[in-house]
């Protein structure tokens, strides 16, 4: 075992489990270092630790769990009853029985690839942050939810995207690589939205004009969204503090960029085929 983290610079410290670590030594180490965060990877830890009942007392204390390159079974995942944050990278969910997220009664943040085994993901009473990849629940209608504040979906089959307005507490929305995202006129209904990202959603119509109707926005990030007719609609966004446009097509009306200098304290970076500009001198 040793102490580490995930991305460089992250403030949370983790105990990284290695093959051969005993339950007792991990429990003592966790108490001495006052660390309730754990990293378990298929390469360094193996699956055995998750099937060994002697580790159950430790697992009950873990608040942040990072799983990497391992097959996930709900039976051992349910041991982590006090999780507040769960991060899953390069893993697959195994079995046929549903995985009920309501079993994690204090879970607040979830980062995971999607699985058809999931139940009650969008009706969880404490889950504020949901980042999912490969959302393949075609035709999905997002249910009424007043808890989720941050939602990221990367790669997805076609959903009823307009039903995202049912997530009425949303402050941050990130939609990435979704070719079925066509109409985003519903964005203005999200009255608490402060942060939005649209990336590689090239079939989206009227993205700029729709985003401009969300007066609460503070941050806008657009990447690989094709040609942009004009930036003029953004003059409505008087609360906007940061604007980034990357890997863009062409800016048809380049003169419309002058509105960016009229927005107070706006930091911006524009990189398009025919136009590059930045607020940095």
Residue-wise pLDDT for 53-68, tens only, equals 999 999 999 999 999 9
Number of structural domains found in the chain: 2
Please say which residue of 109, 127, 145 terminates a domain. Answer: 127
Alpha-carbon distance of 243 to 196, in angstroms, equals: 10
One domain for residues 245 and 272: yes
Q: What is the mean pLDDT of residues 101-125?
A: 97
Say if residue 75's pLDDT is above 70.
Answer: yes
pLDDT at 47: 83
One domain for residues 93 and 214: no
One domain for residues 72 and 184: no
Please say which residue of 127, 148, 173 terminates a domain. Answer: 127
One domain for residues 157 and 247: yes
One domain for residues 220 and 146: yes
One domain for residues 110 and 218: no
pLDDT at 13: 87
One domain for residues 62 and 170: no
One domain for residues 263 and 212: yes
Domain with residue 209: its CATH number is: 3.80.10.10
Domain that holds residue 96: 1-127
pLDDT digits (tens, 9 = 90+) for 6-48: 777 778 888 888 888 888 999 898 898 898 999 999 888 878 8
199: helix, coil or strand?
Answer: strand
pLDDT digits (tens, 9 = 90+) for 188-243: 999 999 999 999 998 999 999 999 999 999 999 999 999 999 999 999 999 999 99
One domain for residues 10 and 118: yes
Please say which residue of 127, 153, 171 terminates a domain. Answer: 127
Q: What is the mean pLDDT of residues 91-107?
A: 95
Say if residue 98's pLDDT is above 90.
Answer: yes
pLDDT at 281: 60
pLDDT at 238: 95
Per-position DSSP letters for 65-124, written without gaps between them: EEEES-EE-HHHHTT-TT-SEEEEES-EE-SSS-EEGGGSTT--EEEEE--TTEESSTT-
Say if residue 5's pLDDT is above 90.
Answer: no
pLDDT digits (tens, 9 = 90+) for 147-191: 999 999 999 999 999 999 999 999 999 999 999 999 999 999 999
Burial bucket for residue 51 (CB in 10 Å: 0-12, 13-18, 19+): exposed
Rounded to 5°, angle at Cα 113 from 111 and 116: 125
Q: What is the mean pLDDT of residues 131-149?
A: 97
Q: How many CB atoms lie within 10 A of CB 264?
A: 9
One domain for residues 191 and 88: no
Q: What is the mean pLDDT of residues 86-109?
A: 96
Averaged pLDDT score across all residues of the chain:
94
One domain for residues 147 and 276: yes
What pTM was computed for the model?
0.93
Alpha-carbon distance of 56 to 59, in angstroms, equals: 5
One domain for residues 115 and 217: no
């Amino acid at each position: 075992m040793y102490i580490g983290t995930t991305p460089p610079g992250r403030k949370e410290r983790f105990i990284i489990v290695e093959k051969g670590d005993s339950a007792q030594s991990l429990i003592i180490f966790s108490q001495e270092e006052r660390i309730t965060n754990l990293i378990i990877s298929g390469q360094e830890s193996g699956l055995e630790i998750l099937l060994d009942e002697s580790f159950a007392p430790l697992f009950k204390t873990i608040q942040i769990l990072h799983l990497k390159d391992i097959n996930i079974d709900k039976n051992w995942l349910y041991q982590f009853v006090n999780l507040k944050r769960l991060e899953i990278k390069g893993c697959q969910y195994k079995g046929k029985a549903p995985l009920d997220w309501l079993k994690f009664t204090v879970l607040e943040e979830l980062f995971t690839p999607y699985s058809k085994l999931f139940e009650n993901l969008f009706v969880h009473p404490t889950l504020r942050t949901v980042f999912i990849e490969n959302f393949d629940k075609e035709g999905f209608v997002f249910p009424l939810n007043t808890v989720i504040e941050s939602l990221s979906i990367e790669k997805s089959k076609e959903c009823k995207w307009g039903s995202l307005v049912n997530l009425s507490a949303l402050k941050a929305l990130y939609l990435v690589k979704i070719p079925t995202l066509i109409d985003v006129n519903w964005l203005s209904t999200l009255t608490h939205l402060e942060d939005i990202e649209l990336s590689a959603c090239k079939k989206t119509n009227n993205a700029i004009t729709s985003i401009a109707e969300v007066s609460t926005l503070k941050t806008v990030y657009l990447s690989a969204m094709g040609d942009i007719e004009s930036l003029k609609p953004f003059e409505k966004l008087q609360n906007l503090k940061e604007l980034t446009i990357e890997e863009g097509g062409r800016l048809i009306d380049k003169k419309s960029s002058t509105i960016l200098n009229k927005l107070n304290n706006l930091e911006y970076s524009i990189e398009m085929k025919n136009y590059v500009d930045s607020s940095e001198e």
